[in-house]
Amino acid sequence: MRNYSIEQRPLDRTSQMPLDRLNDRTVRFPHTEQMPALSNFLLKSLPFSSLRRLQPHIKKVTLTAGEFICRPDEPVEWVYFPETTALSELQILEDGRTIEVSITGFEGAVGLAALFSPGRGANWVQASVPGAVVKVKRDEMQHVVTETERLSGFFYQSIQAYIKQLSQKVACNAHHSVEERFSVWLLMLQDRCNVNRLKLTQEQIARVLGVYRPSVTCIAQSLRDAGLIDYVRGNIVILDREALRERGCACYSELSSEGNLLQFEDRFDKLRAM
């Protein structure tokens, strides 16, 4: 990846991220009879009556790649529902490097646990690729989610899927090679954004994998030489998905977004019928 020039720097625990800028790019949906088009699975799963109640509080924001939207120890005030972006949660290692502990796309949301118990953020949350995310005030979302046992159960199941991913990622980060994890991560990102061309920098990739840039360069070169990916000007294109899956570890079967969505299929129809 010779085109990349950004050096990885340790994430400063005390740095002030420009979270306020999100409000400047917020689009509020008007309160009308016609609901706005939503592509996040969890939001689409809500009964129409619940969506109507939330409509005045639904805001859509466009994020840039690498933009942080949450910091550790801050009160959770918003629930974020990705549509065309994917949100990576990062932990800081002792030497200042970071590593991804979960990734969420259109199949889920970030901040769901706060719907059942007010709390503070545990991780840094970063947009892996540019795209849209819908955010809803925690208090407003809480009123809707906890109003019926069926809705609460649906969102509890989503939290369980999130915890399962956390556990799998911990095992994967500890026991599998960087190339295996890189291959699986590209597949996970493609699943959640539904695109073949991913706008990424070496710095972002290194942050996610908990390594330094030279490691990313060597592995990306190896995958390109094998015809699995291509990259140019900060864009990675997946050329051979099946071969990339073979390069990855078995964790992908547990981490794919498709597996998570299948778990919700039976409850989806029941919710929409409410």
Q: Does residue 7 fall inside a structural domain?
A: no
Answer yes or no: do 148 and 193 share one domain.
no
Read off φ and ψ for residue 229, nearest 5 degrees.
-140, 170
Answer yes or no: do 151 and 222 share one domain.
no
Q: For position 29, what pLDDT does the model report?
A: 43
Helix axes 149-175, 138-145, angle to 10 degrees: 120
- Select from 205, 180, 140 the least CA-distant residue to 6: 205
Tokens matching residue 269: 């129809």
Answer yes or no: do 125 and 162 share one domain.
yes
Tally of structural domains, the chain: 2
Give bridge partners of residue 232 from the DSSP assignment: 235
User: Who contacts 175 (Cβ-Cβ below 8 Å, separation ≥6)?
Assistant: none
Tokens matching residue 84: 């065309």
Q: Does residue 5 fall inside a structural domain?
A: no
Answer yes or no: do 163 and 32 share one domain.
yes
Can you give the residue range of the structural domain that contains 157?
Answer: 21-173+254-272
Query: Average pLDDT of each block of 10 consecutive residues along the chain (274 residues)?
Result: 36 41 44 66 89 92 94 94 96 91 94 89 93 95 88 89 93 96 95 88 92 94 96 90 96 75 49 50
Q: For position 255, what pLDDT does the model report?
A: 86
Answer yes or no: do 129 and 183 share one domain.
no
Answer yes or no: do 205 and 117 share one domain.
no
Q: How far apart are CA 268 and CA 122, in angstroms?
A: 29
User: Who contacts 251 (Cβ-Cβ below 8 Å, separation ≥6)?
Assistant: 168, 169, 171, 172, 176, 184
Answer yes or no: do 201 and 161 share one domain.
no
Answer yes or no: do 51 and 108 share one domain.
yes
E strand or H helix that includes residue 265: helix 257-272
Q: For position 3, what pLDDT does the model report?
A: 37
Answer yes or no: do 117 and 151 share one domain.
yes
Q: For position 232, what pLDDT does the model report?
A: 84
Q: Does residue 129 fall inside a structural domain?
A: yes
Q: How far apart are CA 202 and CA 2, in angstroms?
A: 10
Q: Does residue 8 fall inside a structural domain?
A: no
